[in-house]
């Protein structure tokens, strides 16, 4: 396999490095001597390749991979309806297995212990295979292996924000692995390796171009379709379905029509022809993702139509082929007057989509960002979750660290996502968590699940910051099973990437698990968000968006800071939640403090639960944030000589940048508030 | 001539529109019937063309232009040593005339009144011709015409910041008239028309590419020299000498040398060969302009050499051909830490160049921006004026409105420049004004004069905002004669552009003359500068540069604002002036209030001479500024139907934008200071 010639960093969590415990190796070498894999076709071919490579790497053996029944086989890989596995399963097991789920179990066959990898679909077998190799690599005891696992949802997507010129919007890890100079990359092997990475954590679909669809990318549905086909062929081998972001104005820009009105018959026909042509070339094509009427993108509003009109028209074209239409809820007025304190961007998606609940066709999915703003380090959960009851919905997360340090800073996002998933909307009483909603168990939905913006590029290590690989890994794991804890996921990732040494696992896990909180401490305080430089969104700029048209204000003055989003005195946003949450957010006292400034305007002298004033809290957390980075660095330095030197030095380099920039954040934020409030730091530390 | 087919806006102050006074027309038609013009060659050809066009336009006659002595001739245009003019001049007149000066006089020849246009050079004749046509167009009485005029300085330059790709750095009037897609423009006629405009106000040299010399432009001295030659051929016809901005690292980038060290023999030889080649192609080539060691441009510092080493090396290469080396004094640390309050960008040029005074070759000129920072709406005059005693120097002004409204706002800069010129440095006692220094009368200098960054582009009206033509016109007039008053220049420009109606003259003059003060009122207060958006420099952003590495800070906090540049407590900048100014700037009480925050850190509650507090002054001026724009608009509206409708509507459109953006400035600045100081407006007006 191609990856063998690459660096460790390139291989991510699929290093298949030799297992450290020699006794276990010996034991497992026996267990994996002869592997019986049934079935052929591209996916099964990938299963064979992967198992071969994995066993060679981890156990140092050239396992015999056979396709014919072989009584000596010690591992059986096949579908549930194929013998001999079929006879080794109970009805209950078969019933429990979902289409994409898998079962790993150790059982007795022909008087000896065998390991079974089985599923109802080839994709399921694939996921099972990866899981087995993972267990192996983590040195788990396989003698009592019993692992039946179904994905929580059918939609487990990755969104690439790649442009055909090779750039990536909000990409911090080099250029596109897909495109260069408006052509397909020459390195198709790398796309395959990406597909492996995605499939290995259970992701099953990919949108291969930026949601902001520019001129060249608009043509992917017509004369550049060959590129899509080539990419889809690669992803298919790993059970991944290909989607495209499309330009709503395509009928005008490509079709020469004078309108893109979704109710216009010519427009409908134009899209139907386009879709027919795509499916003729790519029969398992996934569908479209649309960003419409948002940040200057075209959309149905131009024609006085609503988003249901727009989405349904496209969904109708896709329907005959089983295609899906995904429509982003990220719609707001980006030409707001900063002087206008009535308009609240946080309300925009809710106000736009709630009236449309129930009007979307059943192959339409609304893709909703976790928060009402835009992937800030801290936001409340979007009230559309729980709000929308009769609409397919998926949660959109951002793996690429646009506002969370751009992969120069370490910011491990799994803890943040866990908070989102565990948020109780109370939509159907207690326990109506986001996790349950997007697992389809709160409201009846045909489609539900996850989407996330990828953090990869053509940097050797894929993600710019090697430790940022953990965010991609963790996303996949959560998309499969949102009930996994951050600790479990972290433990897995560290083991697979850096091995099973308990000291290494402990140290790196601690660094990762603390990093989001640390980043939050030295950046914008208590949920207010932003305070970044416009456009590139890196580095502190407290007033960067304060007098802008983007709807993102902190309203800091001499007395205090925060946006009043209460129903009583503010924009009313707090009232968009179910009463349990609405009352909490409405109340200055009950509001979770990490979101205090998102919901309330608070004087600097306000006492937090810690007994500190707000201003002192700002100062303290910003000094602490930098100290925590220093601590992270000290922790990391203890790993010198214990982990791969290249990885060690690379991460060290990033940490040094992070420390420098964390200080810049600390000093700018503290100086800003000191200069504005005139209130000195109680500890008299250096503020400029 | 080409201009005939263009709009009025295109023709600027050379409209040659019919004179309004019919009696005068009749009288003048007689006076200009037969024009004797002696001499040939390209410049004299241009003189003929111009006179013919001018007389046709203004007087509606096809004047007879003869080259042979003709006793009926009523106008005599020739050099001072040519008959019959020679005999009509006194020795005193000839003595008084400088090389580029001219004499216009009405006298008696062959028993009849004739008008003489004479000079010692063809260029002088040209200037005289323009001046005569101007007098005519302004309806001046010519019967007692006597006008002997010499330029105050030999250097009267325009700097184009044009790039070969057609973009213009800090250009606000379209793209380059010279270049497009890395080639010469196809419209050479427009370059000729630009040359006419420049020559008509007495400008005599042009730098045809951006001081930030990028890759493509670096090659203008080698394989793109053909472009330079073509442009120089056009300018030559109007007596204008062509210069190039060069890349100090050219020996490395073009020559394949591994160094650009100015003391390296290979480098010296490389430059000598380059210069020899240029002069072989363009014998009257002017020389080079260099921006070195500034804002990431390469320079001698890389090789531990100083700016005298760098400039002298290039000057030596140019010397044999009479070429000039112009070196910009705009050198400062653009990677300053905002936390460092000791470093003061305002000191940088002085600290860099003062130690080098006397070390430059006599064909080196230092080009010094009017202020120590960068063309802000208000700055003190650079202390290098008066400081440098043994160095050729020219004043650099910026016609293009980078920080003064980018030709969306009207900001007539002549009053600002007049203040600069009239600034008394006291270098040799009272009366040592900047004007006198750059007229060569304070210190002995071989070269002295003016340079300015052009405000033109390929917009139909050249300058984006039609009224911004007045800045280009006024710059030329001041470069010729810095003692002219702003009122005189304004009167001339309005007459030439909009005609001689006293109501029109009065209204437009008033609008123009007030506009700088108005712009200042609603933008950054009392000399503190900046407060703009980074990069593009348009629109308010109070903290835009506050935490940046650019050395441009206002240091506003809850108590006050301003940079302490005193000797006693601050950066010492105030002490760089001669005692008369140093003492004034050092003192909070004596410091001119318009520069108060440039030199002092002042609490918001400080009482100004008006009796107002500083904060109230900020509020008041910002409200006033907007009111004054409204007043300007009302003034302008009174001109409807009286001036060219196209010009009327165009300016009206710009005014509406200006009003909107002035309000944005007002509200952002006032809100910023209100939020920071917590001090309410005494008049309780709306602040956000």
B84, B76 contact by CB (below 8 A): yes
What's the CA gap between A324 and A318, in Å, rounded?
6
CA atoms within 13 A on the CB side of B402: 18
Whole-angstrom CA distances from B371 to B346, B406, B419, B429, B564 are 8, 19, 12, 21, 17
What's the confidence (pLDDT) of residue A70? 85
A413, A369 contact by CB (below 8 A): no
Contacts of A339 in chain B (CB under 8 A): 667, 688
Residue range A235-266, pLDDT digits in tens: 999 999 999 999 999 999 999 999 999 999 99
Structure tokens at A389: 């009851």
- Residue B374 catalytic? yes
Q: What is the 3-state secondary structure (H, E, C) of A507-557?
A: HHHHHHHHHHHHHHHHCCCCCCCCCECCCCCCCECCCCCCCCCCCCCCCCC
DSSP state of B220: G
Structure tokens at A543: 């007033």
CB interface of A with B, residues 646-685, below 8 Å: 664, 667-668, 671-672, 674-678
Angle formed by the axes of helices B307-318 and B265-281, to 10°? 40
Task: Of A64-78, A520-534, B298-312, B465-479, give the lowest mean pLDDT range.
Answer: A64-78
Q: How far is A677 from chain B (nearest CA, A)?
A: 6
- pTM here? 0.93
Interface test with B, best of A337, A338, A339, A663 (most B CBs within 10 A): A339
The full DSSP string for A444-479 is --SSEEEEEE----SSTTSSSSGGGHHHHHHHHHHH
Contacts of A559 in chain B (CB under 8 A): 678
Contacts of A531 in chain B (CB under 8 A): none
Q: How far is B340 from chain A (nearest CA, A)?
A: 9
B340 to chain A, any CB pair closer than 8 A? The answer is no
Closest in A556, A558, A668 to B547, CB measured: A668
Residue range A82-121, pLDDT digits in tens: 999 999 999 999 999 999 999 999 999 989 999 999 999 9
Coil, strand or helix: which one is A65? strand
Going by C-alpha positions, the residue among B222, B161, B568, B605 that lies closest to residue B396 is B161
What's the confidence (pLDDT) of residue A68? 87
**Which residues, in sequence order, are CB contacts of A256 under 8 Å at separation 6+?**
none
Going by C-alpha positions, the residue among B185, B302, B294 that lies closest to residue B245 is B294
Going by C-alpha positions, the residue among A565, A540, A539, A538 that lies closest to residue A551 is A565
Distance of alpha carbon B558 from the chain centroid: 39
What's the CA gap between A300 and A305, in Å, rounded?
5
What's the confidence (pLDDT) of residue B5? 67
Closest in A542, A557, A677 to B543, CB measured: A542
- Residue B265 catalytic? no
CB interface of B with A, residues 501-540, below 8 Å: 540
Radius of gyration in angstroms for the set of CA atoms belonging to chain A, rounded to a whole number: 26
Average pLDDT over residues A75-81: 97
Residue range A590-617, pLDDT digits in tens: 999 999 999 999 999 999 999 999 999 9
Average pLDDT over residues B202-228: 97
What's the CA gap between B110 and B84, in Å, rounded?
10
Interface test with B, best of A543, A601, A663, A668 (most B CBs within 10 A): A543
- Residue B3: pLDDT over 50: no
Average pLDDT over residues A613-624: 98
DSSP state of B17: P
Interface test with A, best of B547, B558, B663, B671 (most A CBs within 10 A): B547
CB interface of A with B, residues 442-501, below 8 Å: none
What's the confidence (pLDDT) of residue A5? 67
What's the CA gap between A650 and A173, in Å, rounded?
13
B339 to chain A, any CB pair closer than 8 A? The answer is yes
What's the CA gap between A563 and A582, in Å, rounded?
16
Interface test with A, best of B544, B549, B675, B680 (most A CBs within 10 A): B675
- Residue A443: pLDDT over 90: yes
How many residues are given for chain A?
A: 688
What's the confidence (pLDDT) of residue B532? 97
**Which residues, in sequence order, are CB contacts of A346 under 8 Å at separation 6+?**
A372, A373, A565, A571, A573, A598
What's the confidence (pLDDT) of residue B2? 43
Give the mean pLDDT of chain A: 96
What's the CA gap between A166 and A177, in Å, rounded?
8
Radius of gyration in angstroms for the set of CA atoms belonging to chain B, rounded to a whole number: 26
- Residue B83: pLDDT over 70: yes
**Which stretch of DSSP H or E encloses residue A396?**
strand A392-398
Is residue A501 exposed (0-12), middle (13-18) or buried (19+ Cβ within 10 Å)? middle
DSSP state of A443: S
In DSSP terms, A540 is beta-bridged to: A532
A556 to chain B, any CB pair closer than 8 A? The answer is yes
* Contact between A339 and B557 using a beta-carbon 8 Å cutoff: no
In DSSP terms, A396 is beta-bridged to: A369, A451
Phi and psi dihedrals of A168, rounded to 5? -125, 125
* Contact between A558 and B556 using a beta-carbon 8 Å cutoff: no
Q: How far is B672 from chain A (nearest CA, A)?
A: 8
A342, A306 contact by CB (below 8 A): no
B486, B429 contact by CB (below 8 A): no
Contacts of A541 in chain B (CB under 8 A): 543, 547
Pairs of CB atoms within 8 A across A/B: 47
Distance of alpha carbon B72 from the chain centroid: 42
What's the CA gap between B565 and B558, in Å, rounded?
20
Neighbours of B632 (CB within 10 A): 23
Angle formed by the axes of helices B502-522 and B645-677, to 10°? 20
- Residue A449: pLDDT over 60: yes
Q: What sign does the dihedral A285-A286-A288-A291 (CA atoms) show?
A: negative
Structure tokens at A397: 């997360």
Q: Model ipTM?
A: 0.89
Closest in B558, B667, B675 to A678, CB measured: B558
Q: What sign does the dihedral A569-A573-A576-A581 (CA atoms) show?
A: negative
* Contact between A675 and B674 using a beta-carbon 8 Å cutoff: no
E runs forming strands in A233-339 = 241-246, 287-290, 324-328
pLDDT band, residue A182 (cuts 50/70/90): very high
Closest in A338, A540, A677 to B558, CB measured: A677
Average pLDDT over residues A664-675: 98
Contacts of B530 in chain A (CB under 8 A): none
**Which residues, in sequence order, are CB contacts of A138 under 8 Å at separation 6+?**
A492, A495, A496, A500
Binning chain B into helix, strand and coil, the percentages to the nearest 5 are 40, 15, 45
What's the confidence (pLDDT) of residue A71? 87
CB interface of A with B, residues 3-62, below 8 Å: none
A288, A337 contact by CB (below 8 A): no
E runs forming strands in A63-154 = 64-66, 75-79, 102-109, 112-119, 146-149
Contacts of A553 in chain B (CB under 8 A): none
What's the confidence (pLDDT) of residue B70? 85
Q: What is the 3-state secondary structure (H, E, C) of A639-661?
A: CCCCCCHHHHHHHHHHHHHHHHH
Neighbours of B549 (CB within 10 A): 13
How many residues are given for chain B?
A: 688
Q: In terms of CA atoms, which chain B residue is nearest residue A544?
A: B544
Q: What is the largest CA-CA distance in chain B?
A: 81
Average pLDDT over residues A178-193: 97
Find the angle CA(A71)-CA(A76)-CA(A79) to the nearest 5 degrees: 125
Residue range B566-594, pLDDT digits in tens: 999 999 999 999 999 999 999 999 999 99
What's the CA gap between A183 and A216, in Å, rounded?
10
Contacts of A540 in chain B (CB under 8 A): 547
Coil, strand or helix: which one is B115? strand
Structure tokens at A278: 């795509």
Contacts of B339 in chain A (CB under 8 A): 667, 688
Give the mean pLDDT of chain B: 96
What's the confidence (pLDDT) of residue B1? 42
Going by their DSSP bridges, the two strands A75-79 and A155-159 should be labelled as: unpaired
What's the CA gap between A271 and B165, in Å, rounded?
39
Residue range B618-640, pLDDT digits in tens: 999 999 999 999 999 999 999 99
pLDDT band, residue A227 (cuts 50/70/90): very high
Residue range B235-273, pLDDT digits in tens: 999 999 999 999 999 999 999 999 999 999 999 999 999
Contacts of A688 in chain B (CB under 8 A): 338-339
Residue range B513-555, pLDDT digits in tens: 999 999 999 999 999 999 999 999 999 999 999 999 999 999 9
Coil, strand or helix: which one is B76? strand
B543 to chain A, any CB pair closer than 8 A? The answer is yes
Omega into A617 within 30° of 0, i.e. cis?
no
Find the angle CA(A295)-CA(A299)-CA(A305) to the nearest 5 degrees: 130
Going by C-alpha positions, the residue among A291, A299, A292, A295 that lies closest to residue A261 is A299
Selecting among B402, B459, B520, B644, the annotated active-site residue is B402
Neighbours of A64 (CB within 10 A): 15
Closest in A339, A664, A688 to B667, CB measured: A339
**Which stretch of DSSP H or E encloses residue B205?**
strand B205-207
- Residue A374 catalytic? yes
Closest in B540, B674, B677 to A547, CB measured: B540
What's the confidence (pLDDT) of residue A4? 47
What's the confidence (pLDDT) of residue A41? 87
Structure tokens at B410: 């009207």
Going by their DSSP bridges, the two strands A34-37 and B183-184 should be labelled as: unpaired
B688, B671 contact by CB (below 8 A): yes
Structure tokens at B646: 């196209």
């Amino acid at each position: 396999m191609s990856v063998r010639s690459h660096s460790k960093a390139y291989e991510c969590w699929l290093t298949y490095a030799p297992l450290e415990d020699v006794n276990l190796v010996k034991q497992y070498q026996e267990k994996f001597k002869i592997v019986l894999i049934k079935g052929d076709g591209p996916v099964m071919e990938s299963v064979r390749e992967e198992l071969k490579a994995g066993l060679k790497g981890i156990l140092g053996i050239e396992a015999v991979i056979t396709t014919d029944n072989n009584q000596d086989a010690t591992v059986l890989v096949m579908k549930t309806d194929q013998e001999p596995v079929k006879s080794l399963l109970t009805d209950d097991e078969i019933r429990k297995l979902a289409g994409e789920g898998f079962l790993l179990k150790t059982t007795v066959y022909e008087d000896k212990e065998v390991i079974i990898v089985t599923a109802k679909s080839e994709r399921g077998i694939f996921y099972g295979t990866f899981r087995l190799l993972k267990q192996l690599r983590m040195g788990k005891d396989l003698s009592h292996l019993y692992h039946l696992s179904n994905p929580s949802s059918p939609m487990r997507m990755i969104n690439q924000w790649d442009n055909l010129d090779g750039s990536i919007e909000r990409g911090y890890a080099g250029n596109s692995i897909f495109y260069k100079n408006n052509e397909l990359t020459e390195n198709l092997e790398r796309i395959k390796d990406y597909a492996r990475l995605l499939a290995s954590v259970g992701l099953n679909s990919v949108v291969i171009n930026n949601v902001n669809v520019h001129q060249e990318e608009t043509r992917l549905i017509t004369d550049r379709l060959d590129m899509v086909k080539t990419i889809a062929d690669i992803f298919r081998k790993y059970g991944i379905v290909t989607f495209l972001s499309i330009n709503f104005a395509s009928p005008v820009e490509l079709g020469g029509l004078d309108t893109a009105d979704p109710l216009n018959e010519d427009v409908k026909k134009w899209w139907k022809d386009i879709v027919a042509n795509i499916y003729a070339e790519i029969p398992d094509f996934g569908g479209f993702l649309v960003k419409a009427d948002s940040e200057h993108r075209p959309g149905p509003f131009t024609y006085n139509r609503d988003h249901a009109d727009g989405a349904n028209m496209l969904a109708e074209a896709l329907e005959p082929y089983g295609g899906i239409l995904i429509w982003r809820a990220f719609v707001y007025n980006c030409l707001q007057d900063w002087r206008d304190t009535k308009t609240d961007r946080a309300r925009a998606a809710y106000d736009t989509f709630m009236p449309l609940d129930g009007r979307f066709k059943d192959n339409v999915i609304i893709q909703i960002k976790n928060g009402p703003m835009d992937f800030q380090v801290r936001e409340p959960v979007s009230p559309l979750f729980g709000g929308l009851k009769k609409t397919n919905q998926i949660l959109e997360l951002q793996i690429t660290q646009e506002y969370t340090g751009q992969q120069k800073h370490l910011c491990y996002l799994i803890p943040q996502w866990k908070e989102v998933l565990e948020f109780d909307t109370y939509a159907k009483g207690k326990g109506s968590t986001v996790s349950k909603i997007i697992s389809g168990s709160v409201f009846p939905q045909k489609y539900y699940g996850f989407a996330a913006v990828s953090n990869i590029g053509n940097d050797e290590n894929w993600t710019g910051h090697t430790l940022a690989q953990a965010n991609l890994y963790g996303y996949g794991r959560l998309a499969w099973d949102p009930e996994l804890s951050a600790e479990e996921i972290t433990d897995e990732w560290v083991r697979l990437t850096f091995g099973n040494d308990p000291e290494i696992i402990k140290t790196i896990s601690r660094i990762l698990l603390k990093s989001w909180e640390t980043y939050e401490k030295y950046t914008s305080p208590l949920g207010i968000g932003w305070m970044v430089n416009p456009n590139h969104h890196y580095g502190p700029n407290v007033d960067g968006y304060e007098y802008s048209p983007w709807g993102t204000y902190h309203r800091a003055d001499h007395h205090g800071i925060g946006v009043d989003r209460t129903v009583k005195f503010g924009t009313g946003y707090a009232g968009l939640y179910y009463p349990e949450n609405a009352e909490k957010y409405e109340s200055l006292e009950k509001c979770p403090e990490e979101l205090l400034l998102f919901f309330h305007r608070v004087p600097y002298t306000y006492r937090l639960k810690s007994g500190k004033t707000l201003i002192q809290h700002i100062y303290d957390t910003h000094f602490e944030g930098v100290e925590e980075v220093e601590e992270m660095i000290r922790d990391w330095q203890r790993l010198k000589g214990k982990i791969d030197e290249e990885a060690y030095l690379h991460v060290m380099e990033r940490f040094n940048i992070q420390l420098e920039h964390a200080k810049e954040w600390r000093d700018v934020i503290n100086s800003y508030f000191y200069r504005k409030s005139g209130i000195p730091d109680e500890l008299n530390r250096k503020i400029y």
